[in-house]
Amino acid sequence: MRIVRLPGIHHDANAVLLMGEREAILIDSGTAWYQLLQQERIVGQLGDEVNLREIILTSRRYPFSGGSASIAERFDDVPIKVHPSATSSLATGDFFTTWANRYDSDMPVINAVELEFGQKIELGDQSIEIVEAPGPSSCNLLVHIPSAKTVIAGALLPRADRPMRWDVPTGNLIDGKSSLEYVKTLGAEKLIPMHGPSIKGVEHISETIDRHITALQDIIENQGVLPRSWPKPAHTSLWHEPVPSWPRKEQETNQAEGNSLN
């Protein structure tokens, strides 16, 4: 299996291609703003030999879902799969619960299929686990590829240096801390956040997650009140910005990032 991160542009979340020899799965789509470019990037990675089989969205939020309908149509109407609690919002093009209104955008109607949890998804001879990870929203998911020791964390870990938001509809601070604690038990060697480059190395990932957990625990103990030094997040932001800033070791790149698992 090849795992290819397609870096998010502007407000877009990172999209990730999981590629077998003949079929591929797209995790998240980005917004509807850059879909021609996104489709070109996907086609460039798939080539002539690999077909896109399905799209899985880790969140109903517009930065993850907005472009999925146009991508699905481009690739012969492949199914779009989501958490069961997200299907009605997407089917009605609800721009409030999807946050499309925060980006001054319409929300395309997305006829998505409910995911069944507890069943592993097979891609070639590799298994993919889709796990409920509430905190940023009730519909939040993470993707675990055990054989690649890789986790796609999405909104649960927006960036290495930016903790998730929970102070939004269906967000939950305590659930978010529990979901992060679960991620830590997976022993991942590569963690793909919502934005920015992958976080690599067991020790680095563990340190990063611990920093996020500690921050959330301190806020829980402070009855949900943010540290005074932290600014109010922008209305489009899916993260908080700590002050002083947290360290960030990675370097940004605009190139697709991938690795292979044989």
d(CA 22, CA 45): 12
CA distances 43 to 27, 63, 126, 147, Å, are 15, 21, 22, 25
Peptide bond into 158 cis (omega under 30): no
Q: Give the residues across from 145 on adjacent strands.
A: 150
3-state SS, residue 231: coil
Per residue in 154-164, pLDDT tens?
A: 999 999 999 99
Domain CATH code at residue 196: 3.60.15.10
Residue 39's H or E segment, with its range, is helix 35-46
Q: Which two tokens mark 18?
A: 């999981």
pLDDT tens readout for residues 162-221: 999 999 989 999 999 999 999 999 999 999 999 999 999 999 999 999 999 999 999 999
- Alpha-carbon gap, residue 31 to 33, rounded angstroms: 5
194: left (phi over 0), alpha (psi -120 to 50) or beta: alpha
CB 33 within 8 A of CB 40: no
Domain that holds residue 232: 2-260
Please determine, for residue 261, whether its predicted confidence score (pLDDT) is greater than 90: no
Q: Are strands 51-56 and 15-19 parallel, antiparallel or unpaired?
A: unpaired
Q: Give how many domains the chain has, as a whole number.
A: 1
CA distance 51 to 33: 24
